[in-house]
Each structure stands twice: as structure tokens, then as C-alpha cells.
């Protein structure tokens, strides 16, 4: 191509907007986070303050648990839906994709409908056992909420990946006398591994920064978004900026494997 000037002009508008509303804001966050009286030492406080450290570890733990559970449940569901044909399959395929676009707060509300004080689980256990089971506002509720937005993503990723795998390999393994278990372990699982890893990483990263869901549900549990809200409400901009940078780095690092395997558009979650 001889003349590239017009093409450079094609870059300009989008990159200007991107620089103004993403790169500049992130830069301001970084500057702001080190601009308090403590300077960069505030990053040490995130680890040395026992409450913040516990919050950080709790958040990581919950996110890892959610990622593992979502990959297991979503993996089985996705593979099953992709590989089997039966009556009502189309209906069952449509169901898990329904909540994929729900914002985080709505996800939290869904869990309250399910396991809140007036929730379905509470009413059922009240009718059956005479005592209300309410878990929406504690750790199990938070887990359920994170699972709620994670499972659809895993199902979608696994179905897409399973649809593209080469069925003839499984066929060959079966013909050569491999048991269904061996076929799954040696052929199916490895071929799906990239999709599973990337889906798991996306679930983890989304869970770490799932503000809407955490703020709706975490009544007696401190996770990063809750501490974050404390900072912003008390106008502690330095601490909030520091936490933003930490959150951003954690999520970005967690998504590295996902981006290597699947390309980035798989990422992104309820804010």
C-alpha cells in the first residue's frame, strides 16, 4: 500500500477516545494511589493490615472455588448439551444462556429470590422441615451468586469448543477398544482443556471484581468490592485508587491464560 495517511486518520478517533477514557484514567489512578501521605507504602498496607489481607485472601478463595465449580458444572452441562440429541434439547440449550447479560445487581437479586428471607428455598424448607433455610446473605449466597453469572459463560464456551472438536478422534479411540472413561480422559478432556482453562480464568477474574453481586449479597462477609465501596463512600480516594490498581492487576494476570487460548472477547462480566 503506497499511501497510508488516510489509514492513520482511521486510527485517530477511536484511539483518542480510548486514550482519554481508559489510558488517562488508569494513569490518574496510579498517580492518585501513590499521592497520599504514605506514598507507595500504601500498597504494603493492603498486605500488612490483617483485615485487608483477610479480605484479599477470602476474595481469592471464593473466586477460585467459583471458577472450579463453574467449570465442572458448566463443563458437564455444555458437553452434554452439545453431544446429545433428545426431545427438548433446544429448550434446554436456550435456558442457561438467559442470564448471560444480567448486570451484577440483578444476579444478586436472583439469589435473594432463591435463598433470601422470602425466597423459594426458605419457603420450601419451612414447609418441609419447619425451619427457614436462608443463605443469600452469607458466604454460600455469595458463592451461588458468582456461580449464577459464571455457569452460563462456561456453558457457552464449552459448547462452542465441543462443537469444533474433531469427533473422528473419539470415534477412532472407541473403535480401538478404549473404554468411555479412557476416551474422555485421553481424547475429550485434552481437546477441551484450552476452553475450560480460559472459561475458568474468565470466571475467576469476573468474580474478583463482581461489584454489583457482592454489594447486593455480602451482608456479613467482607470481600474486595465491599471494602472498595467503604473507601469510595468515605471519599478515601487514595485507598480506593490503590485497590483499583490491585484489582486491575489481579484480573489482568488471571486472564492471561484465557487470552492466550481463546482470544479476549470471551472476557468481560457484570460490573
When asked if residue 26 is in the footprint of another protein (CB under 8 A), the reply is yes
CB of 41 to another protein, least distance (A): 20
CB of 125 to another protein, least distance (A): 15
Of 25-33, 43-51, 162-170, 188-196: span binding another protein (CB under 8 A): 25-33
Considering only residues 33 to 72 of the shown chain, the ones binding another protein according to CB under 8 A are none
User: 252-268 burial, b if ≥16 CB within 10 A, otherwise e?
Assistant: eebbebbbebbeeebbe
Whether 270 contacts 149, CB under 8 Å: yes
Beta carbon nearer to another protein, 50 or 99: 99
Give the integer Cα–Cα distance in Å for 184 and 242.
Answer: 45
Of 6-14, 54-62, 125-133, 192-200: span binding another protein (CB under 8 A): 6-14
Query: Is 106 exposed, middle or buried (CB count within 10 Å of its CB: 0-12, 13-18, 19+)?
Result: middle
Of 24-32, 50-58, 156-164, 167-175: span binding another protein (CB under 8 A): 24-32
When asked if residue 20 is in the footprint of another protein (CB under 8 A), the reply is yes
Considering only residues 106 to 165 of the shown chain, the ones binding another protein according to CB under 8 A are 109-111, 113-114, 118, 120, 147-148, 151-152, 155
Of 39-47, 169-177, 188-196, 259-267: span binding another protein (CB under 8 A): 259-267
Which ranges constitute the DSSP H helices of the chain?
5-18, 24-33, 42-48, 50-83, 89-97, 104-115, 120-129, 139-164, 167-175, 180-183, 189-208, 211-217, 224-233, 237-262
Among 96, 122, 141, 200, binds another protein (CB under 8 A): 96
Chain centroid to Cα 83, Å, comes to 25
Considering only residues 155 to 214 of the shown chain, the ones binding another protein according to CB under 8 A are 155, 180, 205, 208-209, 211
CB of 149 to another protein, least distance (A): 9
When asked if residue 98 is in the footprint of another protein (CB under 8 A), the reply is yes
Amino acid at each position: 500500500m503506497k499511501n497510508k495517511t488516510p489509514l492513520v486518520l482511521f486510527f485517530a478517533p477511536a484511539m483518542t477516545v480510548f486514550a482519554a477514557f481508559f489510558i488517562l484514567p488508569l494513569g490518574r489512578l496510579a498517580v492518585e494511589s501513590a499521592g497520599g501521605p504514605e506514598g507507595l507504602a500504601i500498597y504494603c498496607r493492603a498486605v500488612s493490615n490483617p483485615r485487608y489481607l483477610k479480605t484479599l485472601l477470602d476474595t481469592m478463595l471464593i473466586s477460585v472455588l467459583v471458577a472450579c465449580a463453574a467449570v465442572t458444572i458448566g463443563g458437564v452441562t455444555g458437553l452434554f448439551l452439545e453431544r446429545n440429541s433428545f426431545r427438548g434439547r433446544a429448550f434446554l440449550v436456550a435456558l442457561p444462556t438467559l442470564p448471560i447479560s444480567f448486570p451484577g445487581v440483578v444476579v444478586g437479586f436472583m439469589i435473594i429470590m432463591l435463598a433470601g428471607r422470602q425466597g423459594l428455598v426458605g419457603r420450601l424448607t419451612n414447609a418441609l422441615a419447619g425451619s427457614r433455610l436462608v443463605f443469600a446473605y452469607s458466604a454460600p449466597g455469595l458463592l451461588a451468586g458468582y456461580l449464577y453469572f459464571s455457569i452460563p459463560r462456561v456453558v457457552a464456551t464449552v459448547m462452542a469448543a465441543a462443537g469444533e472438536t474433531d469427533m473422528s478422534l473419539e470415534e477412532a479411540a472407541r473403535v480401538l477398544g478404549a473404554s468411555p472413561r479412557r476416551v474422555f480422559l485421553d481424547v475429550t478432556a485434552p481437546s477441551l482443556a484450552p476452553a475450560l482453562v480460559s472459561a475458568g480464568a474468565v470466571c475467576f477474574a469476573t468474580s474478583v471484581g463482581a461489584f454489583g453481586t457482592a454489594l447486593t449479597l455480602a451482608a456479613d462477609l467482607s470481600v474486595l468490592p465491599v471494602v472498595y465501596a467503604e473507601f469510595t463512600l468515605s471519599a478515601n480516594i487514595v485507598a480506593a485508587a490503590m485497590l483499583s490498581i490491585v484489582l486491575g492487576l489481579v484480573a489482568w494476570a488471571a486472564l492471561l491464560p484465557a487470552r492466550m487460548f481463546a482470544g479476549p472477547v470471551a472476557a468481560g462480566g457484570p460490573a
